[in-house]
Amino acid sequence: MDAGQYTSVPYVLFTALVAHQILRRFETHLLSFNIPVLLVPPALLTAFSVHYDTLSNWITSTLAAYPRTLALYLAFLGTVIVGYRISPFHPLAQHPGPFLCKVSAFWMAYLSLEGEQHRYIRSLHERHGDVVRIGPNLLSVRKPSATAGLLGLTGAPKGPHQMGRVLSDTRITMIGIQDTDVHLLRRRAWARGFTPTALKAYEDRIARRVSQLVARLEEQKGEFLLNQWFNAFSYDLMSDMAFGGGTNLLEGKDDDGFWPGLKKTATTATFFGHVPWFGILLGRIPWVFLGNKAFLATCRNNAARRLARGTQTPDLFHYLSHEDIQGAGKNEPRPSMDQIVNDGILTMVAGSDTTSGTLTGLFACLLSNPDAYRKLQAEVDRFYPPGETITTKHHKEMHYLNAVLNETLRLFPAVPAGTQRQVQRNGEGITVDSLYVPPGTIFWMHVYSFHRDPRNFSPSPNAFLPERWLVGSGAETGYDVAPMAGYVHNEAAFIPFSHGPMNCVGKALALQQLKTAVCALMQRFAMRPREGWTLADYERNVKDYFVTVRGPLPASLEVRGGKSE
């Protein structure tokens, strides 16, 4: 082939430099934008550089030369991108971090496969300080004083990682919507579903599932896995809330493979969360991730049945489908089926996993600390003597229960990384507490690192110590805990439900479920861990895949005062 048929190297290099500026200026996860930028320029260069005497020869020559030009173009483009990312001209160049993290988001995606990213990122903060660069355009922040500025009313919108997790830039759940106005509009229905009036209406539904959990645990003989029962309880309860019921894992029925499926897909979802564009690309291939699509179809069928049935007893679906405002003069159309399905999936995944994970973590902490177990049980007995029905009446007065719950959420936050945010690309960046976050920068306020920083919680930031929440409370709570040596307690650094107007909308429901279940279990049972088991055994198996995956919690129990009637 004539040398003239090869595209000039300087032209290819210049085109790669231009393409880099375009990609940097209009960074997006839209394949309709990115693919043409990657494929069209080398095609044009090839077409205008080859020699030809007939149209057929020109086409043949162009097709023959295109692969070489494309390879050269992509090589130059990749070199330019990497060179810029590690150069002193990058907007995040001042922030320390591992070299490979700066080079490519695929490095953190790879590291996330083992579920150790929460511990890894914390170790980076201990080594490098409060702001660490963990991706080419990604920061992890451990500055409680910056929380309000970065997550509050004037803070940044959501980041793009949820698009990678769900393998789509269109089928996005509420927590992944990047447009703040759209996010807050979508959130309205959720907010209506979590008002005090709505929560009061859920009490009987929660109480029935808690009673069912207690009854099943009464049947257990010898050692069993407590975490499996918490999984079944939380899934059945959130199925009630999301789709008006239809499951009964507590009775060993209707197992649609949710928990095995969640655990199986958690790894890939986390990987693609770090490289959203790659997840979106693979999500468009029909035969990829068929398990995810089967779960989506199940949720769609559940949503259709729930819509057809209508509201019998108000549940969260009642609000998410706008049944509460239909015919009430509200100017909000009923959401599409896709939106209802996506919200139902969010309810099931986020609600089930966070409740189960927190219950498991809480009892892991209590079983490893018999003194705390006895104190909490004594408080439960004071407010709910054996035989008395568990309601929400005394929850606010139960200070040791709240201390135990807070300490569990501090050590084992349901979402260890928190929620990802991204500064608007067309803005001026955000400056707060001497930290400047440039336009377009993605960041995490890394919850796990916040909670285990000795500057925020001391003494023993890695230990389960509920009393740290009661120091100096005295007559106000009935727990007059003496000051501790080296005591530090910075509640501004306690953000298990995030912060600001885009925080966890289901916080109130989660706390209601958790407190009701804990009170019922403590009232009814005396539990013991496996001989030789320690909290370190549990913590070692807690994996961070945005949500957590936990290991087994082996326990045995005795029913206090005999069987309930």
Q: Which residues are annotated as a binding site?
A: 504
Is there a contact between 17 and 49 (Cβ–Cβ < 8 Å)? Answer: no
Residue 559's SS3 state is: strand
What are the backbone dihedrals phi and psi of residue 114, each rounded to the nearest 5 degrees, phi first? -90, -5
Q: What is the dihedral of CA 96, 498, 354, 264, to 10 degrees?
A: -40
Q: In 3-state terms, what secondary structure has residue 403?
A: helix
Tokens 């009637």 label which residue?
565
- Stretch (H or E) spanning 421: strand 421-422
Map tokens 């890894």 to a residue.
Answer: 120
**Which among 140, 133, 142 is positioned nearest to 101, based on CA atoms?**
133
Give the chain's end-to-end CA distance (angstroms, integer). 90
Report whether 565 contacts 215 (CB < 8 A). no
Q: Which residues are annotated as a binding site for heme?
A: 504
**Residues 53, 54, 58, 64: is their CA dihedral positive or negative?**
negative
Spell out the SS3 assignment of 234-303.
HHHHHHHHHHCCCCEHHHCECCCCHHHHHHHHHHHHHHHHHCHHHHHHHHCCCCCCHHHHHHHHHHHHHH
Separation CA 31–CA 37 (nearest Å): 10
CA distance 38 to 104: 17
* Burial (Cβ within 10 Å: 0-12, 13-18, ≥19) of residue 233: buried
